[in-house]
Amino acid sequence: MFKGSITALITPFRDGQIDETVFQDLVEWQIQQGVHGLVPCGTTGESPSLTHDEHERIVDLCIEVSDKRVPVIAGTGSNSTAEAVSLTQHAANSGATAALVVMPYYNKPTPEGQYKHFVAIAESAEIPIIIYNIPGRCVVDMTVDTMARLAKIPNIIGVKDATGDASRPSSVRQLIGKDFCQLSGEDGCVPAMLAHGGHGCISVTANVAPALCAEMHEAWQKGDTTLALEIHDQLTPLNDALFVETSPGPVKYALSLLGRCAPDLRLPMTDIKGSTKELVHAAMGSAGLLDIGERQWHAAT
């Protein structure tokens, strides 16, 4: 069972290429800060813009650095079933702990098409599979009934829920059971997910606030809901700011303020607006994450 704060890692670029050294340093920093897991090559990692070789290389780099200290849940989804099968098999063969498989985007498959897509992937590799349900990016929404069908397959063990529907976790528990792993895909929905029996979050915010995010989940697990909500309140302006424009633009910029990576994106993603940079900077400050001077801030903008 996966639980706690699991970082949906960005993919750092420099001059259009993956900056492998920066990526590995970021992975090590995340582990040292106390995160409970890592997701390379998810949406936050700009996976649709990566070549197959780049995708597999990032997964391998993450597994190498983590060295089994924390789980690595490799993003392996695609709107092509054959491509998702190939990426999932690679993750399994490389030693990933699990695979995160996004709903097929653009194709708009029916519930039966969704079911057969995930069955084909699950049967192709001996690795736990987490369904990534994010209708905002994929258009289609997996119903709880379809998820219950898939949960009967032994290695389909959970869901990353980015529906924003606070009632969904309870429905999943009722139909599938409490052991089906439920992870929030929205940082702002973490308390609601946990209160309804969820287990953790695959987090964008944890890229820049890994220690705070981990502390929040650990407080909740210990029954200290007051502290958990205090930390959540502290992070709320940042959770909001990181999605003023399409992710991962804002979070990459936030990491650049920490000196962790360049804010470079790969087309069709482009540099965020100056007004968004101001919001991100202010939110990072309010969360207590900045120790850079105003001169550095102006240089960064």
- 132 counts as catalytic: yes
Q: Three-state SS for 186?
A: coil
Cα–Cα–Cα angle for 210, 187, 275, rounded to 5 degrees:
90
Token digits of residue 32: 């040292």
Alpha helices in the chain, H assignment, sequence order: 20-32, 52-66, 81-94, 111-124, 135-138, 144-151, 168-175, 190-195, 210-221, 225-241, 249-257, 274-286, 294-300
- 115 counts as catalytic: no
Per annotation, catalytic residue among 105, 132, 252, 277: 132
Token digits of residue 104: 């097929």
Report the C-alpha gap between 30 and 281 in whole angstroms: 21
Among 262, 252, 253, which Cα is nearest to 15's?
262
Per annotation, catalytic residue among 160, 252, 253, 277: 160
Among 53, 113, 133, 123, which Cα is nearest to 92's?
123
Catalytically active residues, by annotation: 132, 160
